[in-house]
Amino acid sequence: MSGDNCIFCKIIEGKIPSKKVYEDDEILAFHDINPSAPIHFLVIPKKHLPMLSDASSEDTQLLGKIMLKIPELAIQEGANPGQAGGFKVLMNNGAEGGQEVYHMHLHVLAGKRVGN
Ligand code: AMP
Ligand code: ZN
């Protein structure tokens, strides 16, 4: 299932290049093209879900898998470990939530103090 003219589906299909962080059969993670922190990557389901609001109970395992993968990938990409280190996970949902690309994605930011 691929969204028509969806830029992230094109990245999944390899039609648009990306700097990959991780890939398996259900998930892709790649560097954000316009980073807001020294470490800034996106984690997406390969399934084309436009936004979190479009997910349903059948996506429970997929969303859980993505969440549990993030700490591992943050460390892999250079986030400092433990309570003194860390990272920020952010998801925009809908226009008023600041979403620009309508293929659900989590931002992972780290490498400086990205918390408030
Ligand atoms: P959002 O506002 O949450 O929809 O964020 C979309 C993010 O996708 C932005 O941070 C963009 O910099 C990023 N982005 C857009 N196009 C690409 C691309 N081709 N490769 C990597 N990141 C991208
Ligand atoms: Zn898509």
Give the containing element (helix H, strand E) for 72: helix 60-76
Which strand ranges, in their side-by-side order, compose the sheet holding 88-90?
Answer: 20-23, 27-31, 39-45, 106-110, 88-90
Q: Which two tokens stand for residue 28?
A: 């892709």
Does the Cβ of 95 fall within 6 Å of ligand 1? Answer: no
Q: How much distance in Å is there from the Cα of 65 to the middle of ligand 2?
A: 18
Domains along the chain with CATH numbers: 7-110 (3.30.428.10)
Per run of 10 residues, the mean pLDDT along the chain (length 116 residues) is 88 98 98 97 98 98 98 97 95 98 98 75
Please identify every residue annotated as catalytic.
105
93 lines ligand 1 (CB under 6 A): no
Burial grade of 95 (CB within 10 A; 0-12, 13-18, 19 or more): exposed
> What is the Cα–Cα distance from 8 to 104, expressed in whole angstroms?
9
> Per-residue pLDDT tens for 37-48?
999 999 999 999
Ligand 2 centroid to Cα of residue 82, in Å, is 33
